[in-house]
């Protein structure tokens, strides 16, 4: 591995790439996960590589939904397992929620590796290996899930998703929270709450809000949840990006 000096102006971004590249060599990340990351990076540039206020609001509302849920599950794929393993485990403990590995490019070998990786970071129970249930309407392997995990969850947090599972989970009556830097994606448009932020900032931020809201009355959480307008927020993100680009090179 090439040593990246901390003084490099793109140090943080290059370290994330390095993590994914190493994760792919270890068999945790699928090669198309690198392509997905490139797309994410491009959208992160557009929002300024920071948590914008609309994402902060979505993270707060996501925390309220997760706290209000009866059985929340955090879905983990290859990219997420490599980018934010400890952060997902910490968030799951804080809510509390279950963790399930769910892959688009599912192989038993990769499933086992990702479960083991999460266990190395301290996860006690990780769902996904049983694969004893199917999400109706999904013909590919992302439809395979655990009956005790995603299948029976009422709220599913899906960082880095592709849109058809998001719709299928909604068709099952579940509430879906997505983290997706692309506000135009099917996932972003289908989810109940879309966090347009990088997963490396979003997961710790959701945990921050879980800690803040944890002792609030359920009626306060319900007010926040009921007043959430996902389409409005997506429109606001797009208008934020276009205004930002229009004025970027003004002095």
115 CB-contact burial (10 Å; exposed 0-12 / middle 13-18 / buried 19+): buried
Residue closer to ligand PTJ, measured from CB, 63 or 221: 63
Q: H-helix or E-strand containing 224?
A: helix 218-226
Residue closer to ligand PTJ, measured from CB, 193 or 221: 193
Residue closer to ligand PTJ, measured from CB, 53 or 107: 107
Q: How far is the CB of 92 from ligand PTJ (least distance, A)?
A: 18
Residue closer to ligand PTJ, measured from CB, 61 or 77: 77
3-state secondary structure of 75: strand
Residue closer to ligand PTJ, measured from CB, 83 or 155: 83
Residue 115 phi/psi, 5° resolution?
-60, -45
Peptide bond into 223 cis (omega under 30): no
Query: Contact 48/212 with Cβ under 8 angstroms?
Result: no
Q: How far is the CB of 108 from ligand PTJ (least distance, A)?
A: 13
Q: How far is the CB of 224 from ligand PTJ (least distance, A)?
A: 23
C-alpha distance across the termini of the chain, in Å? 40
Query: Contact 169/155 with Cβ under 8 angstroms?
Result: no
Q: How far is the CB of 250 from ligand PTJ (least distance, A)?
A: 28
Q: How far is the CB of 24 from ligand PTJ (least distance, A)?
A: 10
Which position's Cβ is nearest ligand PTJ? 40
Q: How far is the CB of 205 from ligand PTJ (least distance, A)?
A: 12
Using CB under 6 A, list all residues that contact ligand PTJ: 30, 32-33, 36-37, 39-40, 43, 77-79, 103-105, 160, 162, 179-182, 185, 198-199
Rounded-to-integer distance, Cα 232 and Cα 125, Å:
37
The C-alpha angle 165, 171, 177, rounded to 5 degrees, equals: 55
What DSSP designation does 150 have?
G
Residue closer to ligand PTJ, measured from CB, 58 or 181: 181
Q: Left, alpha or beta for 51 (phi > 0: left; psi -120 to 50: alpha)?
A: beta
């Amino acid at each position: 591995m090439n040593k990246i000096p901390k003084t490099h102006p793109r140090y943080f971004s290059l370290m994330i790439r390095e993590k994914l590249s190493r994760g792919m060599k270890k068999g945790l990340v699928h090669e198309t996960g690198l392509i997905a990351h490139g797309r994410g990076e491009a959208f992160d540039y557009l929002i300024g590589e920071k948590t914008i206020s609309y994402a902060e609001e979505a993270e707060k509302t996501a925390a309220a939904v997760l706290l209000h849920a009866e059985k929340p599950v955090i879905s983990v794929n290859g990219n997420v397992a490599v980018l934010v393993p400890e952060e997902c485990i910490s968030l799951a403990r804080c809510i509390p929620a279950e963790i399930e590995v769910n892959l688009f490019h599912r192989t038993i070998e990769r499933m086992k590796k990702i479960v083991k990786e999460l266990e190395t970071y301290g996860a006690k129970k990780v769902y996904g290996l049983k694969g004893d249930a199917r999400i109706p309407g999904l013909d590919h392997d992302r439809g395979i899930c655990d009956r005790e995990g995603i299948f029976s969850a009422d709220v599913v947090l899906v960082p880095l998703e592709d849109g058809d599972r998001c719709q299928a989970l909604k068709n099952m009556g579940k509430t879906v929270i997505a983290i997706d830097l692309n506000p135009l994606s099917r996932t972003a448009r289908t989810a109940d709450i879309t966090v347009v932020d990088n997963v490396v900032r979003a997961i710790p931020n959701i945990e921050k809000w879980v800690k803040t809201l944890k002792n609030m009355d359920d009626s306060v959480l319900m007010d926040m949840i009921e007043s959430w307008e996902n389409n409005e927020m997506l429109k606001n993100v797009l208008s934020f990006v276009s205004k930002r680009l229009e004025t970027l090179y003004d002095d």
